[in-house]
Amino acid sequence: MSNPIRAGFLRGIVMRAPGITATTDFYTELWGLNVAKTADGITYLRGTGPEPFIYGLKDGDSYGIEYVHFGMDNRADMDALYAHVTAKGAPALGQPADFDHPIGGYGFEILDPDNRRLRFTTELEANAEDDKFAYPRKVSHVVLNTPDMDALEAWYQEVLGFRTSDYSADMMVFMRCNRDHHSIALVRAQYPSVNHVAFEMPDLDSFMRGIGRMKQKGQVPSWGPGRHGPGNNPFAYFVSPSGYVIEFTSELQQIDEATHEAQVWSRTDPDSMDRWMTAGPPTPAQRAVMAGRPDAGFPHLKKG
């Protein structure tokens, strides 16, 4: 039996907001990222892992996701994925080609059903890895709000080969493309938007020290620290200067494909939401900021 065609792995995300590049110092001096490249109206930030960048800041006249960035191992896999997703009817913004921008790479872009742009690349120049204590090494996962969670879950399964790892009652689904418990999670919501982006620390001590570094610089978590049930990962959420929710995490559950079975986690049992019982439920203000601003995405099929 041939291997199924699947998205390979999550590389990161580029966020858009008015004047967002002016907030670069927050990410370099507090959050722990470094500038990888800059261009007109955009800053690419890298972590301590191999990805050339994991978080992008793009100036724009609206708030939202510029694109979610995934990787494939090689051109053959990239071309196979393109053939698969287009056969499934996903709207593509061009055929696989070399990207003409500071990060480069070979790949293509599609839109998901919420008009969210997804970019797939290979042949990027990797950084030397250096798991610096208490500094983020990669984007662990991206959580997306959607008005049709069930249909979007099915789309990510059928078009991109994601597998469902767990559910949080009927309000949230955690989906994986590799052994990480979730690279994408979907939240049932009134409109499409970004819920939050999580950054992985090398270990639990780094996770706690990162929180300490933020507190020393006057930034306290808006929720956490605690430990989630689904994924079993510790969490501490903060709000960025542009109003986006960002998270420190580590130790995300690694899935055994042969034995794992998705389960439904309660949203009313306190220790299902927060296994340490340290964070409590999110406040109404936290829920409001995680609802995000409505993101129209890319309704016109034009490469940006």
pLDDT band at 302 (very low <50, low <70, confident <90, very high): very low
- 299 pLDDT band, cuts 50/70/90, is low
* Percentage of the residues of the chain whose pLDDT score is greater than 90: 92
pLDDT band, residue 272 (cuts 50/70/90): confident
Q: What pLDDT shows up at residue 183?
A: 98
Predicted local distance difference test score (pLDDT) of residue 208: 98
- Domain 9-122 in this protein, CATH class: alpha beta
Predicted confidence (pLDDT) per residue in 172-189, tens digit: 999 999 999 999 999 999
Q: State pLDDT tens for residues 17-34.
A: 999 999 999 999 999 999
Cα 19 to Cα 31: distance, rounded to the nearest angstrom: 18
Predicted confidence band of residue 2 (pLDDT cuts 50, 70, 90): low
Residue 286 is given by DSSP the state H
- The chain-wide mean pLDDT, for the chain, equals 95
Q: Tell me which architecture the domain covering 138-291 has in CATH.
A: Roll (3.10)
pLDDT bucket at 131, cuts 50 / 70 / 90: confident
DSSP notation for 40-98: TTEEEEE-SSS-S-SEEEEE-SS-EEEEEEEE-SSHHHHHHHHHHHHHTTPPBSS-SEE
**pLDDT by residue (tens digit) across 66-82?**
999 999 999 999 999 99
pTM: 0.96
- pLDDT given for residue 16 in this prediction: 97
CA quadruple 281, 284, 288, 291: dihedral sign: positive
Among residues of the chain, what percentage have pLDDT more than 70? 97
- pLDDT average, residue stretch 38-50: 97
The token pair at 275 is 């296994």
Q: What are phi and psi of 268, to 5 degrees?
A: -110, -25
Give the list of residues 6+ apart from residue 93 with CB closer than 8 angstroms, or none. Answer: 108, 109, 110, 111, 117, 298, 301, 302, 303
pLDDT at position 301 is 40
Whether the per-residue pLDDT at 1 is higher than 50: the answer is no
- Which range among 45-49, 77-81, 197-201, 297-301 shows the weakest confidence by mean pLDDT? 297-301
**Structural domain boundaries of the chain?**
9-122, 138-291
pLDDT for the residue 187: 98
Task: Tell me the average pLDDT across 225-238.
Answer: 97
Provide the angle, in degrees to the nearest 10, between the axes of the packed helices 75-87 and 149-160: 130
Q: What is the pLDDT of residues 219-231, one digit of tens each?
A: 999 999 999 999 9
299 vs 83, more confident? 83
**Residue 101, pLDDT score:** 87
